[in-house]
């Protein structure tokens, strides 16, 4: 199917062909015309930190007296421009430091103009290095800024500016590469974890003013969670903004903003859930009152079907739509217009224009996982002509299940397994009826470390049972909201919950969650990697050589027939047998 999630990340080693990695300089064969711009000096040296993480013979050493910058020229393959690439990857180590400041590194692409001046199309994306340890860092390109630059014309001379700092630091840099955009396809059966990126649903005033009452998340938000491995993004938006009049056309301005965000995620290989965050209601008076679907003829199942038919028509050709989340947390539905009947009307409408994208159906009664059987068991009777439904539950740990967390951990009588106990009702239902599921919201406060234990137990349970999840919530408009995992200090400081979330990025028992995968080779060897674990399978005995990008043998692996072998590798570029891959 066109949407099978496989990140095919084949590394560039010997020539400039159509692989996904273009090595700018690995410094094995020389300095490569790298030049110091200011604030320090550059050397081509023997690798003083040669380990399994980086066994290169030669690396670039930068001595920084303050902020230092090194320009590395490069040439793109014929027919390529910078907009064909999604980011920059390099290996970095801090060899020495003054001990009182952060070890910073950033990347910009420098485009030569006609008189030789460097022009920087985007602000550097700063990250933190580690002392005496090789790290692999990714920096994502700002495509909008690049496109604007190209519109003005340039000579075609390119260089990568690597900025480091500050004060008397000594840096090592190696394996600098551009990452080509990978084709993102998938049937949304992939089991991955991520976050809700809020903002477009904010305000309580409709339609409201963008930037005042609400606002869209940005590529910087995507970049941060991409680097954390939390790739699945649930994207809440409001019906009142995207369709101002029942059965009317979609609002062109809001549609363009939604598409800009979805495209930015697609460029980064990040799946998106389009979440209509309306609780089965619509406000016709700007947010003062809300009408329930089925309450009167002004708002019916057919109206919801109409807007989703139009949304599906607009978004069905994007390759990263994980699913259409047709309504967030319906509740208190009327007996004359039950949620199951409304959902069926919407499913039928979407399938008129899109037969492939999964449809996500939330449970009744605020989508409660704990009370799924009591309120949402009838959803198993839904019929999808494409047989591609995903059922969504939500779960919070406080005593009233609301997620408001008005009381303390003790007052709410929370225990380490509270989340697991509540999730089990939903997960066992999925197993019983062979359904696919998503836990679309869960979150904990940042004021007591015991919440993190309960969160981690829940995530381990979801992972082990193959259920995807998106944490509530992130986004640039949350402020001091205690459940938020939006980073602070210009995306450099994590919230406490992130220490748990970044451990859980994919769920078990689903090969499409693999980050890098290669096809079966002529010698019957299959190689795949999930995170840093590389798995080998073969129909006959063999020994596999694992090489790094510099051609040094890293590991030998013996593989027995039909018995998977596992090894864990550091992040980096590798050649495994006759295949090439990236361990992220």
Q: Which residues are annotated as catalytic?
A: 329, 441
- Please state, in angstroms and as integers, the Cα–Cα distance from residue 528 to each residue in 116, 465, 553, 565, 570, following that order: 45, 21, 19, 11, 15
Q: What are phi and psi of 470, to 5 degrees?
A: -130, 120
* Range list of H helices, 110-168: 143-151
508 and 467 Cβ atoms separated by less than 8 Å: no
- Please state, in angstroms and as integers, the Cα–Cα distance from residue 9 to each residue in 92, 514, 525, following that order: 21, 11, 18
Strands annotated E in 205-358? 232-237, 272-276, 281-282, 291-292, 321-325
**DSSP string spanning 451-512?**
HHHHHHHHHHHHHHTT-EEEEEEE-TT-TT-TT----BTTTTB--TTHHHHTT--B-SS-GG
Tokens of 131: 């002392």
**Calpha distance 455→485 (Å, rounded):** 13
**Calpha distance 12→41 (Å, rounded):** 29
DSSP state of 363: P
- Please state, in angstroms and as integers, the Cα–Cα distance from residue 189 to each residue in 363, 438, 481, following that order: 19, 10, 32
Q: How many helices and strands, by DSSP H and E, does the chain display?
A: 11, 28
- CA dihedral angle for residue 286, residue 292, residue 296, residue 299, rounded to 10 degrees: 60
Write down the residue that tokens 């072998």 correspond to.
565
Helices 339-353 + 301-315 axis angle, to 10: 30
**Calpha distance 490→487 (Å, rounded):** 7
**Calpha distance 196→369 (Å, rounded):** 18
160 and 72 Cβ atoms separated by less than 8 Å: yes
Specify which residues 441 forms β-bridges with.
394
Tokens of 185: 């396809």
């Amino acid at each position: 199917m066109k949407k099978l999630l496989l990140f095919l990340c084949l590394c560039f080693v010997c020539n400039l062909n159509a692989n996904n990695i273009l090595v700018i300089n690995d410094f094995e064969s020389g300095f490569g015309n790298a030049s110091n711009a200011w604030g320090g000096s550059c050397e081509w040296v023997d690798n003083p930190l040669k380990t399994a993480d980086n066994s290169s013979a030669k690396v670039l050493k930068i001595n920084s007296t303050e902020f230092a910058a090194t320009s590395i020229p490069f040439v793109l393959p014929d027919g390529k421009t910078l907009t064909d690439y999604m980011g920059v990857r390099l290996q970095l180590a801090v060899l020495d430091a003054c001990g009182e400041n952060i070890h910073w590194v950033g990347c910009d692409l420098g485009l030569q103009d006609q008189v030789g001046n460097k022009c920087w199309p985007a602000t550097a994306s700063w990250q933190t290095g580690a002392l005496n340890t090789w790290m692999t860092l990714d920096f994502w390109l700002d495509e909008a800024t690049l496109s604007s630059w190209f519109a003005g014309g340039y000579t075609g001379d390119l260089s990568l500016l690597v900025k480091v700092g500050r004060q008397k630091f000594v840096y090592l840099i190696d394996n600098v590469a551009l990452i080509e955009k990978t084709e993102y396809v998938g049937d949304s059966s992939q089991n991955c974890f991520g976050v809700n990126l809020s903002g477009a649903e904010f305000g309580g005033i409709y339609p409201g003013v963008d930037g005042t009452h609400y606002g869209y998340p940005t590529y910087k938000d995507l970049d941060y969670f991409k680097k954390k491995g939390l790739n699945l993004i649930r994207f809440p938006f409001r019906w009142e903004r995207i369709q101002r009049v029942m059965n009317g056309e979609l609002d062109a301005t809001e549609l363009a903003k939604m598409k800009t965000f979805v495209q930015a995620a697609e460029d980064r290989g990040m799946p998106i859930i389009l979440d209509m965050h309306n609780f089965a209601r619509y406000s016709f008076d700007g947010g003062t009152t809300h009408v329930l679907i089925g309450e009167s003829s002004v708002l019916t199942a057919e109206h919801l079907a109409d807007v989703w038919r139009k949304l599906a028509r607009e978004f069905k050709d994007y390759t990263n739509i994980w699913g259409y989340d047709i309504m967030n947390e319906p509740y208190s539905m009327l007996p004359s217009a039950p949620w199951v009947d409304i959902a069926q009307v919407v499913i039928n409408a979407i399938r008129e224009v899109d037969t492939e994208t999964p449809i996500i159906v939330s449970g009744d009664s605020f989508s409660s996982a704990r009370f799924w059987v009591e309120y949402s068991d009838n959803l198993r009777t839904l019929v999808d002509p494409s047989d591609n439904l995903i059922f969504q539950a939500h779960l919070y740990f406080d005593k009233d299940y609301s997620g408001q967390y008005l009381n303390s951990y003790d007052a709410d009588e929370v225990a380490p397994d509270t989340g697991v106990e509540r999730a089990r009702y939903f997960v066992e239902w999925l197993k019983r009826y062979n359904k696919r599921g998503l836990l679309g919201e869960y979150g904990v406060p940042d004021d007591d470390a015991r919440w993190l234990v309960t969160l981690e137990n829940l995530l381990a349970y979801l992972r082990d049972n193959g259920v995807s999840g998106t944490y509530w919530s992130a986004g640039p408009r949350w402020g001091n909201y205690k459940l938020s995992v939006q980073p602070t200090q210009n995306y450099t400081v994590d919230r406490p919950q992130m220490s748990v979330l970044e451990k859980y990025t994919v769920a078990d028992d689903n090969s499409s969650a693999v980050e890098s995968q290669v096809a079966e080779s002529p010698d019957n060897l299959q190689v795949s990697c999930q995170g840093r674990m590389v798995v080998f399978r073969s129909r006959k005995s063999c020994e596999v050589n694992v090489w790094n990008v510099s051609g040094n043998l890293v590991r030998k692996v013996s593989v027995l027939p039909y018995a998977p072998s596992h090894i864990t590798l550091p992040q980096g570029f590798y050649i495994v047998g006759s295949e090439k891959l990236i361990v992220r």
